[in-house]
Structure 1
Amino acid sequence: MTLSAIVFVGLVDLSIQWVCFVFSALLRTEKFFDLVGGSSFIICVSLSFHYNDRWNDKIALIQYCFVVLWAMRLGMFLVYRIWRDGKDRRFDDIKSSIPKLFITWNFQAVWVFLTLLPTLWMFEWSNFKNKEPSMGQYIGWSVWMFGFAFETISDHQKLIFKEKPENARKFIKHGLWSISRHPNYFGEIALWWGLFIAAVGTFDDPSWTLYTVIGPLFVTFLLGFFSLRMLEQSSDEKYGQNAQYSEYKQKTNILIPFIL
């Protein structure tokens, strides 16, 4: 019996995180956490793509390239940021506790697998009867490009802002940050919904949509609720007494520009 590509990818994903957890615990460092995260996306989606032999499927190839491009861009950005800062503040309490560190590495495995689920499902189960992309793929990929651009630009704007010494105690409120308090999160949520839309367009069985929608829903919950709430709390502690920040919060939507 041939091992399902999705199961194989899941096992590889978990193995990567467990091995890296050991090194992280021994060295008491988090500096390669984001590098492993980005690399895991590339490894897992590549394994699925090759395992299912999708080289001749144009739709699968485009989907694959979009995932790899996102992972390379975000991975390099996060690695540069942590090496510039010297540490990742998220790990201040985590890296001193083996159980917390183990949970964090396992959570990264879940993040990688669930986020990729629609694309992994596409590679394994879709038969690509239509060799050329349909309107569904073009819509999904357009949403991906919009989200990717939004995330990339907002990350760059904040990076440039933070690297100026005079902005050490200030918050960013220009560019895309003037229409959303978390435009990078909005961009990432949008791009994964885009890849989900593109994947759904290749499904033969409508019920597959219910199985794979957990991917973009997970990203939406993780960033749009969990991480966003933590960042808002952190910002309130830093700038809560700043009248300009209070005005910024009142006038600028928390996530979706002009809507929410």
Structure 2
Amino acid sequence: MSSPTPDTRSSRTSLIAITAALIIGALVALAGSQGGATLAGVPLFALAVGAAFAIQVFAFIPAALLRSERFFDLTGSLTFAAISAALVLLTPQPDIRSWILAAMVVLWAVRLGSFLALRVRRAGSDGRFDEIKKSPLRFLQVWVIQGAWVSLTAAAAWIAISTDAAGREPFGWLGVVGVMVWAAGMVIEIVADAQKSAFRADPGNRDEFIRTGLWSRSRHPNYFGEIVIWLGVFLTAAPVLVGWQWVALLSPLLVILLLTRVSGIPLLEARAEKKWGDRADYVEYRESTPVLIPRLGRAGERVG
């Protein structure tokens, strides 16, 4: 019997990944729907999760036909915004927490979507997809996984937004703290992204690494801001979570895991090491600057 070809193994892996993403989404939808409002007898949170996956699959169709990933990131951002807005409008008698959480997610998504759209416009194609988009099944895999990412990341907000009226609580001090934490994360992320965009726009910085502004205090301040944002969302949602709804804890945990262990910091650190690892100034920057949590003290001259 002949061994499986690389294409066969790749297809099998993609099918497993797609199935796993769908199962995870279904389990989260089931758990988070406990005590939630319904529409025609169907839990609103489950409808939100189903819509997140459906939007990705529908968007995949023209993307596969065109073999283009240009609107992949934008679709993810728009999914966050559209479902959050729809959810708060469909929830019976939404309270102040529901409106605030929807606004938090929508504002974050609009900001991120516009930032990514401008980046795609400047950069053109995304090298991550060069090989993936040649295989329809592998390409579908990343879209379905994006559906799982949206659903799990937004879980805390969506569960709290769609909580049944009987399970609601006064906004309270923890809600205020959550909003303040979210706002701090937004400021950090926006400033870090703006500083890096300005750095890259300067022709004199071609093939250089940024080490000014927030980047003198953290090697990845934008990721720190992103983590803080979703911690703020979770804190705002936490007072109304009960029973299996605590699956919402996956929201900040997933963001932390992805950025620190999977697709964020590890990939960028490896790329930076390959590009500048033999330069003394980069080695000094790497060794004197925290990888994620910004240094609060005065930045040194050589990395400030």
TM-score, structure 1 normalization: 0.93
1:212 matched to 2:251? The reply is no
Aligned residue number for residue 30 of structure 1: 69
* Higher Rg of the two aligned structures: 2
1:175 matched to 2:201? The reply is no
1:39 matched to 2:81? The reply is no
Aligned residue number for residue 26 of structure 2: none
Q: 1:3 aligns with which of 42, 64, 86?
A: 42
Identity of aligned residues (%): 36
Report deviation, 1:130.
4.4
Report the Cα distance in structure 1 between the residues aligned to 2:273 and 2:93, rounded to whole angstroms. 48
Aligned residue number for residue 63 of structure 1: 101
> Which residue identity is paired with 1:195?
V
Aligned residue number for residue 278 of structure 2: 241
Aligned residue number for residue 176 of structure 2: 138
Aligned residue number for residue 49 of structure 1: 88
Report deviation, 1:144.
0.3
Report the 3-state secondary structure (helix = DSSP H, G, I; strand = E; otherwise coil) of the residue aligned with 2:132: coil
Report deviation, 1:160.
0.7
Q: Could you say if the C-alpha distance between residues 229 and 197 of structure 1 is closer, same or farther in structure 2, counting changes exceeding 3 Å?
A: same
Report the Cα distance in structure 2 between the residues aligned to 1:11 and 1:47, rounded to whole angstroms. 13
Is 1:180–1:254's contact at 8 Å kept on the other side of the alignment?
yes
Aligned residue number for residue 299 of structure 2: none
Report the Cα distance in structure 1 between the residues aligned to 2:168 and 2:119, rounded to whole angstroms. 43
Q: What per-residue deviation string (whole Å, max 9, x for no partner) do you get for residues 167-219 of structure 1?
A: 1110101011111111111100111011101100233x3x3563210111111
1:122 matched to 2:160? The reply is yes
Alignment of 1:174-213 (within 5 A): 174-203=212-241, 205=242, 207-208=243-244, 210-213=246-249
Unaligned runs of 5+ in 2: 1-39, 297-304
Give the root-mean-square deviation of aligned CA atoms: 1.7
Is 1:54–1:123's contact at 8 Å kept on the other side of the alignment?
no
Aligned residue number for residue 14 of structure 2: none
Unaligned runs of 5+ in 1: none
Return structure 1 stretches of 4+ with deviation > 3 angstroms.
126-131, 207-210
Is 1:145–1:191's contact at 8 Å kept on the other side of the alignment?
yes
